Structure 1
Amino acid sequence: MLISPQLAQNTLADLTKACDLPLNPGELIPGKGEFLDHGHVLLGDIAVRGYKDKGLWKYDDRDIRRAGQALAGVSIDTTDVVEAQVPSRRYFDDRESYDDWRRADWRRTLNYWIYAAARRYRRSEVHTPAAFAYDPANDFDVFDPEAIGFEVNIADDFEADVWSSRYEIGSHGLPGELTLEDLVLHYGERTIAGTRPLALLAWSGTHWVLPRAYADMLDRWQERERTLAERARICTGCRAQGSRWGWRTVTPSGYVTLCPVCSGKAFETYEGQLDGVAYRSLRRTHRSDEYLCCLCRESRAALWDHCHEHGHVRGPVCPSCNTFEGKGVAFLRRNGSAQHLLRCRGCREGRTLPSRFHLDVVLDHLEEVERHGRRCRHRPHAYRTEYVHGVHLIILHCDAHASMATWTREVTAAEAASIVRVYVDAALSGNGPG
């Protein structure tokens, strides 16, 4: 019997009340794209498959009960421990690609938490604008390269050979002035394999340790996670292997893996068949899932993207591209994005973009032209802090320097409109982005 994620969470919580593991049953409540990787949620080293039923993700009640009974039987001896291998710089070395960073590796994740917390602790001691203060509600995903360069900066610190001065390990076993309490404050609720490892991490006086049974379980989780992820990269049509997530396509029953060639054979290519058509006039006969996504042209589309201001259809898009459209500046920098937005006849004829993209165009423009000093070649990060009397107050932040330099620019509404017009004209002429 298929059950809802909420019922699955409650069932697992009841079965694991006396569990020795610091388990988080809430892992069964799927977030957006939760099943994109491989269609399973791992609790400890146990994989629970997700099923899509009538557009909703569910679990098999039998799978939840089997997992709950197995986890309830796990015994953790806190006197039988192994070294956790943290903190260690080596887990940040020899990274080759984004996929390498995203591969399941519980030791690297623990090390990331420690050094990220140490960096935040250090930044809290330096006077910075409130716009850059740490906000737990807006924390970034682990190893998310779009997170305004925060994770990249940690690796850059290592490469810049400033490790000894900023991250020297103290007698308490943590880098800099970081304490275990600060680490738990920032990352205590984070999970690996559906468990909270910081609840079991302990200082022996010379190194950090974890219970042997728990470390062994994390090793098994790591291997299982990698195996499932590798299996999900294989096209179900031709058995070719793609990159992580690249070929995952949503269907009414869940995700499948199809390479662009197999997707091209299975679904129709969108060539502007509905350009200029009002979204509200679409009939059920116009099914978006009969097409390839008109943005990535690799995955099956799932919905019709349309301009909310003019009401015109832009084209069929997959869930991943539809979500990415909300990423603002990052979306605008993606090849083809500007042309996609201008599929709307109203935007095209008005030489404009939907108003929600105007500020993003301005921020991207400032990041392109502004630099911290004449010799700095690093692209800064731009943020709007307020909009008062028709003026955007923009803060620019260059974190390539130890001083983490910041400066401000004021952009009037008229200047913003001009920047957007230039951006759109360049896109329409084929000389700009997209």
Structure 2
Amino acid sequence: MEVQLPAYRDHGEQEPEDRGRADWRQRIASWMFWQARDKHQEGRPYEEWDGSWKRIGASGLPGELTWDEFVAARSGIRRRENIANTRPLELITVSGGSLFLPRAYAALLDCWEQVEEGLVARARICKGCAAQGPRWGGWRTQRPLGYATLCPPCSGAAFQRGRDRPIVDGSSGAAARRAGARPATSGMNDVTETQRRILLDK
């Protein structure tokens, strides 16, 4: 199937909700735009730089970039350029100024987008009141068993409940001493203590 590359958008032009979104077409396009920019600027005075590299050219790639140039330039880092643990650049073909991918592979990438966005959506929901939080994890709160999503009111309420609850910390040395138990020590400390008793017995 033919792959239609999305138009270039500067970071400042993107909506906060769109930044970092799982979008395999946008990710492939970004690799090409970066390479087209490098080709445009390389060996050219700064005064001659312009935005021509942001437009899709006759080759189907941004600017004056050709497919052979793109593949040659990215050959050293293609192992790191993966989407859903796959390497799309190895499956793309170019014909008549258009880019093509196997239809089954494109369907797999579409499924990856849905799964990724579903996980993000679940992680944004406040555990206390089910309100939706910001995309970039502003409500993520560290808890004893990991991280949880709590909106500011629910986070404040949870903190207050913790303050009102008696502090019982069996993992601390002070709590262990108050309970009349010997604090847990590492294996090295246990060996040292055993050696000390043997010397005292002598």
TM-score of the superposed pair, with normalisation by structure 2 = 0.65
The alignment status of 1:180 with 2:70, answered yes or no, reads: yes
- Listed one character per residue, the Cα deviations across residues 335-359 of structure 1 (whole Å, up to 9, x for unaligned) are xxxxxxxxxxxxxxxxxxxxxxxxx
- Listed one character per residue, the Cα deviations across residues 70-92 of structure 1 (whole Å, up to 9, x for unaligned) are xxxxxxxxxxxx11112x41x63
Give 1:183 deviation, angstroms.
5.1
Question: Unpaired segments of 5 or more residues in structure 1?
Answer: 1-81, 129-156, 269-282, 286-434
- Listed one character per residue, the Cα deviations across residues 235-255 of structure 1 (whole Å, up to 9, x for unaligned) are 011111110111112334332
SS in 1 for 2:38: helix
Return closer, same or farther for 1:185/1:238 CA change in 2, 3 Å cut-off: same
- Is 1:117–1:182's contact at 8 Å kept on the other side of the alignment? no
Larger helix proportion, structure 1 or 2?
A: 2
Q: Distance in 2 between matches of 1:252 and 1:125?
A: 55
The structure that has the greater radius of gyration is 2
Q: Distance in 1 between matches of 2:38 and 2:64?
A: 11
Return closer, same or farther for 1:95/1:212 CA change in 2, 3 Å cut-off: farther
Give 1:168 deviation, angstroms.
4.7
Q: Which amino acid aligns with 1:84?
A: V
Of structures 1 and 2, the one with the larger relative CO (CA 8 A, separation 6+) is 2
SS in 1 for 2:18: helix
Give 1:96 deviation, angstroms.
5.0
Return closer, same or farther for 1:108/1:247 CA change in 2, 3 Å cut-off: same
Q: Specify which of 205, 210, 224 is matched with residue 115 of structure 2.
A: 224
Match of 1:124 in 2: 42
Give 1:218 deviation, angstroms.
0.5
Question: Unpaired segments of 5 or more residues in structure 2?
Answer: 161-171, 175-202
The alignment status of 1:254 with 2:173, answered yes or no, reads: no
Q: Which amino acid aligns with 1:203?
A: V
Q: Specify which of 94, 111, 118 is matched with residue 29 of structure 2.
A: 111
Match of 1:84 in 2: 3
SS in 1 for 2:124: coil
Return closer, same or farther for 1:204/1:118 CA change in 2, 3 Å cut-off: same
- Is 1:236–1:257's contact at 8 Å kept on the other side of the alignment? yes
Give 1:227 deviation, angstroms.
1.3
Q: Aligned Cα RMSD in Å?
A: 2.9
Q: Specify which of 211, 220, 239 is matched with residue 102 of structure 2.
A: 211
Larger strand proportion, structure 1 or 2?
A: 1
- Is 1:92–1:108's contact at 8 Å kept on the other side of the alignment? no
> After superposition, where does 1:130-169 map in structure 2 within 5 Å?
163=51, 165-169=52-56
Q: Distance in 2 between matches of 1:97 and 1:171?
A: 29
- Is 1:83–1:209's contact at 8 Å kept on the other side of the alignment? yes
Match of 2:165 in 1: none
Match of 1:102 in 2: 20
Q: Distance in 2 between matches of 1:98 and 1:186?
A: 32
SS in 1 for 2:17: helix
Give 1:213 deviation, angstroms.
0.7
Q: Distance in 2 between matches of 1:96 and 1:170?
A: 23
- Is 2:35–2:70's contact at 8 Å kept on the other side of the alignment? no
Return closer, same or farther for 1:166/1:112 CA change in 2, 3 Å cut-off: closer
- Is 1:184–1:198's contact at 8 Å kept on the other side of the alignment? no
- Listed one character per residue, the Cα deviations across residues 182-219 of structure 1 (whole Å, up to 9, x for unaligned) are 45247622121121211211112330011111100111
Q: Runs of 4 or more off by more than 6 Å in structure 1?
A: none
Q: Distance in 1 between matches of 2:73 and 2:17?
A: 26
- Is 2:126–2:149's contact at 8 Å kept on the other side of the alignment? yes
Identity of aligned residues (%): 45
